[in-house]
Amino acid sequence: MLVTGKQILDHAHENGYAVGAFNVNNMEIVQAIIEAAEETKSPVILQASQGGLKYAGVEYIAEMAKVAARNASVPVAVHLDHGTDFTQIMQCIRNGFTSVMIDASKKPLEENIATTKKIVDIAHAVGVSVEAELGKIGGTEDDITVDEKDATFTDPDEAEKFVKETGVDYLAIAVGTAHGPYKGEPKLDFDRIKTIKERLNMPSVLHGSSGVPEESIKKAVSQGINKINIDTDIRMAFNKAVREFVAENPDVYDPRKILGPAREEMKKVIAEKMKMFGAAGKA
Ligand code: G3H
Ligand code: 13P
Ligand code: ZN
Ligand code: NA
């Protein structure tokens, strides 16, 4: 069933688990995610980045995700990932997304607050949930010094002010993860996750979660993370499966035969994540 992001994440927050938010840009990825969610009985979030929307078109993504959500027995939210453009955010809402992210994290605090609040006011008026970001989530910087940590990681005082003034539904926090693959092992600031949870008492979001070891993910969830974004690990499963298949079957030219096994491999990776996050059985 199609639900809002807030419905899914408030339940996760109240019950101490995390929901996977998986990036989609084509039909096979959508189906892999929904099949994994059904199989593990997990609530799930389908999210599209600006790049994903550019690739597939907002209407295609919205309709595909909504069909998948409506036909699913588990709760599914359709979410815009890292929205930075007012017009595009409005288009997503118009096309039936049930959650949007406004990412003004590169702007100074007051400007981030004002930009986020404007989206919250509009989205809430039509029943759409909102995620915002505070702090700077890494590219793939490896060894962050303590000074850099204080400058870039989410400050709990600022987070409290930010949520109070914007009314945002869930907050993406910078605690040591980075988008894309890691060179070394990421070091997460678990104490910061816990402090922010205690201060805000609302759902927290972890970005850049591909490549984070299982123990770190589980600890992050135990300290208060409720939405875990995964993109790269799905891309890698897709890439590996397609390459292996075409290498072993150089004469096959039917896209269904090439992409079918990739869909199956993505589904396996996604189902594992759902279990790891504690979402399995929560639908
Ligand atoms: O947050 C980043 C996501 O992995 C989306 O990446 O902009 O290449 O679609 P993308
Ligand atoms: P990864 O590609 O590291 O999984 O990050 C995904 C993400 O945070 C999308 O917003
Ligand atoms: Zn992200
Ligand atoms: Na990552």
pLDDT, residue 230, reads 98
pLDDT, residue 140, reads 54
Residues with CB under 6 A from ligand 1: 23, 49, 51-52, 81-82, 179, 231
Helix 232-248 to helix 255-277 angle (10° resolution) is: 150
Residues with CB under 6 A from ligand 2: 23, 81-82, 179-180, 207-210, 229-232
Question: Residue 140 Cα, ligand 3 centroid: separation in angstroms?
Answer: 12
Task: Give CA–CA dist 237/210, Å, rounded.
Answer: 12
Mean per-residue pLDDT for 237-264? 98
- Residue having the nearest C-alpha atom to atom 1 of ligand 2: 208
Q: Candidates 105, 227, 232: which one to mutate for ligand 2, based on the most atoms within 8 Å of Cβ?
A: 232
The mean pLDDT value of the chain amounts to 96
Tokens standing for 84?
Answer: 């930075």
**ipTM computed for the complex:** 0.98
pLDDT, residue 160, reads 98
pLDDT, residue 243, reads 98
Task: Give CA–CA dist 280/259, Å, rounded.
Answer: 26
pLDDT, residue 141, reads 47
Task: Give CA–CA dist 213/44, Å, rounded.
Answer: 21
Q: Candidates 25, 82, 205: which one to mutate for ligand 1, based on the most atoms within 8 Å of Cβ?
A: 82
pLDDT, residue 147, reads 62
Q: How many CB atoms lie within 10 A of CB 254?
A: 9
pLDDT, residue 138, reads 76
pLDDT at 148 over 70: no
Catalytic residues: 81
- Residue pair 228/20 in contact (Cβ under 8 Å)? The answer is yes
Q: Which of 169, 150, 173 is nearest to 223 (CA)?
A: 173
Task: Give CA–CA dist 92/166, Å, rounded.
Answer: 20
Closest atom of ligand 1 relative to the 180 alpha carbon: 4
Task: Give CA–CA dist 89/69, Å, rounded.
Answer: 20
Residue 37 — φ and ψ, nearest 5°? -65, -40
Task: Give CA–CA dist 162/171, Å, rounded.
Answer: 9
Closest atom of ligand 2 relative to the 81 alpha carbon: 10
Domain boundaries, the chain: 5-232
pLDDT, residue 26, reads 98
Tokens standing for 189?
Answer: 């600031």
Is 210 annotated for ligand binding?
yes
Mean per-residue pLDDT for 9-34? 98
Question: Residue 252 Cα, ligand 2 centroid: separation in angstroms?
Answer: 32
What is the sign of the dihedral through the CA atoms of 130, 213, 215 and 193? negative
Q: Which of 189, 192, 243, 233 is nearest to 209 (CA)?
A: 233
What is the DSSP secondary structure assignment for residue 132, as one 8-state letter? E
Alpha carbon distances (Å) from 183 to 17, 25, 92, 135, 187: 28, 26, 34, 22, 12
Mean per-residue pLDDT for 247-265? 98
Closest atom of ligand 1 relative to the 51 alpha carbon: 9
Alpha carbon distances (Å) from 174 to 192, 193, 207: 9, 9, 8
Strand partners, 80: 48, 100
Q: Which fold has domain 5-232?
A: TIM Barrel (3.20.20)
Is 11 annotated for ligand binding?
no
